[in-house]
Structure 1
């Protein structure tokens, strides 16, 4: 006789509609001894997802977008069980696993078995149909999953300082203090990136650009994607947004990818806090257009920060080029050609990974008060730019997708 798990999957996973799910869930609800097989089948689907280029955070995020938080927690439970079998995982995988929701036990011999089985089968139906996406690093269990750039001698301490500065910037209620802390963090990031580039050039390093994915989730995902694009560009990376799957892929050298992840997360937290404060003032004056206000606020915040970040990078590069001009006894130290070569490498890698990208023009900033408040918040959260520079690209943004 065909196993219950096979009967249930055949009934539920390859047909549309709730009736098919109900049939499969009824079979499983009546067979508590099939729970282990049911979970093993789910782990098999998770393993297939890794082969299609997905990472743990991507998978949970997509389940949350397409289904709901309940099924996202079930996905996290399967991921935790599946990844436990590997002796070693890539560094970013470990960080993602640490942030997943806690596991959910199977409800053996409990009255909610039908609902639980139905949730799992609907999750499996989604996992079965996952599209293949561009890999950003090796999957666990492959021959190369242990290969990654070793940290520079002072890198852990540098990243600790940057994280501490950004955490303080997020926590303070004083815009001037947040501005100073964020500016110092960006200064450290820029200098660290330049130092890494010079060391790689002097040592003739064979390091090549890599990539990572960063979640860009609703609401107001277009404004968030523009902010991430600005942060990536300022840190010598390129970002490609996939709105349907809820993330952007950032291409760059490893130190720069780490800077983008840290700074984007912090600026998003700072921007959201500033938006909440500004919105409260708008409500107090009788305004109720919350959605348009928020969209315009975040669009302006992203646009203005783009110019601030670009200015900071330009000044840091000019200062470092002055310091290294003429070379040293350690080898060639002409900074601008070194950085230009890295820019070319990043561009070539991004074009190879995404040969068919398009530039999307984003419109949506229709609330003047929201735009003005967002611009002001970006000025307060600026990262070292001159206040005399007040140019921006206007209310329409462009982003590679």
Structure 2
């Protein structure tokens, strides 16, 4: 059995093109007694990916981008099977695994999707080998947490009530069709984020807690990924975090303290949903007027939206910090704490990414798209993360 697997892998995984894949798939299709070992090898490739810094959401995102639906269903099923054996999982993995439920399970049967649509053995083996070829070639990346098996269990706690309220407010902002209501809900959510973050910072300072910056990865998916990466960078900077975009693998790594990382994930997702909804509405108006430049309009719209959001967050943040320090003695005492945390975040980001590059943004060529995108960002009404005033 092992010799069949080894021969199939030698032909399929270490070469290019379809000839080796066909040879390997033929060998596996003729050896049904190798199925269990084939699956076990897939789990081994996942463990290798975890050791190299990858997390479940990263792997699924890349498979979904580069391969097809059967490969995505297979990798989701393998991840759920492989991670089931660990007594403790790293932070954020539980949420990532929960997000795999819809990918790995067929709603009409409740069975794993990889088994819900029967395929002939040759096709099934081909899917396995194409997936394993991708997994085998995953390079090491910067880890944002320990791999499974090295996690020290902490106290079992539920999500803070404040974050639950924030999620609810942002969900309502995304769902409403009234811009004024979305603005009010987003502003309230941001106010709660600010209070949560400042409380955590003060608590850490007063108790001399050995709090250190962490990191998380946020997917930046095509299309229009440059605009999305710029939007994420703007939100991260406004929330005292640093974002580094890995264009090749479709994610940004955000470095910061845990309460700020949570805020970045929540706010970025909500702003992207709101911006996409505004773009769709504006595009419909353009199409009704007879315009057909859909792609350039969308790309320019999102670039303008990201650019304007970033400018407003930066301007309002500086103004609000100055006012808070002048009006509130407790806020003034907080400034050295925030400055120390900024230094710690910058140091962690530079150690994780000692070499970064900048790129010139291209594609903002549609005047109407820029105008509508800027207007949508103005309507987003996102205040800074401290307790400063809302944007006008």
Q: Normalising by structure 1, what TM-score?
A: 0.89
Quick one: distance in 1 between partners of 2:359 and 2:206? Answer: 39
**Pair 1:141-2:149 in alignment:** yes
Shift in Å, 1:72: 1.7
CA contact (8 A) 2:60 2:76 kept: yes
CA contact (8 A) 1:138 1:145 kept: no
Question: Residue 41 of structure 2 corresponds to which residue in structure 1?
Answer: 41
**Pair 1:215-2:223 in alignment:** no
CA contact (8 A) 1:53 1:132 kept: yes
**Pair 1:352-2:351 in alignment:** yes
**Can you list the C-alpha shifts for 1:325-379, whole angstroms capped at 9, x where unaligned?**
169xxxxx71111111000000000000000011222121100000000011111
Shift in Å, 1:190: 1.5
Question: Residue 108 of structure 2 corresponds to which residue in structure 1?
Answer: none
Aligned-pair Cα RMSD in Å: 2.2
**Pair 1:69-2:69 in alignment:** yes
Which structure dedicates a bigger proportion of its chain to helix?
Answer: 2
CA contact (8 A) 1:35 1:106 kept: no
Gaps of 5+ in 2: 106-111
Partner SS state of residue 36, structure 1: helix
Q: Flag the 1:105–1:334 CA change in 2: closer, same or farther, 3 A.
A: closer
Partner SS state of residue 249, structure 1: strand
Shift in Å, 1:318: 4.2
1:117 to 110, 122, 125: 125
Question: Residue 338 of structure 2 corresponds to which residue in structure 1?
Answer: 339
Q: Normalising by structure 2, what TM-score?
A: 0.91
**Can you list the C-alpha shifts for 1:166-193, whole angstroms capped at 9, x where unaligned?**
0000000001110111011111112221
Deviates more, 1:376-385 or 1:53-62: 376-385
Quick one: distance in 2 between partners of 1:207 and 1:388? Answer: 31
CA contact (8 A) 1:324 1:335 kept: no
CA contact (8 A) 2:25 2:129 kept: yes
Quick one: distance in 1 between partners of 2:275 and 2:200? Answer: 30
Q: Flag the 1:251–1:106 CA change in 2: closer, same or farther, 3 A.
A: closer
Q: Flag the 1:326–1:73 CA change in 2: closer, same or farther, 3 A.
A: closer
**Pair 1:172-2:160 in alignment:** no
Question: Residue 393 of structure 1 corresponds to which residue in structure 2?
Answer: none
The alignment covers a number of residue pairs equal to 379
Quick one: distance in 2 between partners of 1:213 and 1:322? Answer: 36
Quick one: distance in 2 between partners of 1:146 and 1:296? Answer: 46
Paired residues for 1:1-400 under 5 Å:
3-100=3-100, 101-103=103-105, 104=112, 112-142=120-150, 144-146=151-153, 156-318=160-322, 320-322=324-326, 325=329, 334-384=333-383
**Can you list the C-alpha shifts for 1:273-327, whole angstroms capped at 9, x where unaligned?**
1100000000000100000000000001111111222344445544553565169
Deviates more, 1:157-166 or 1:314-323: 314-323
CA contact (8 A) 2:104 2:113 kept: no
CA contact (8 A) 1:216 1:246 kept: yes
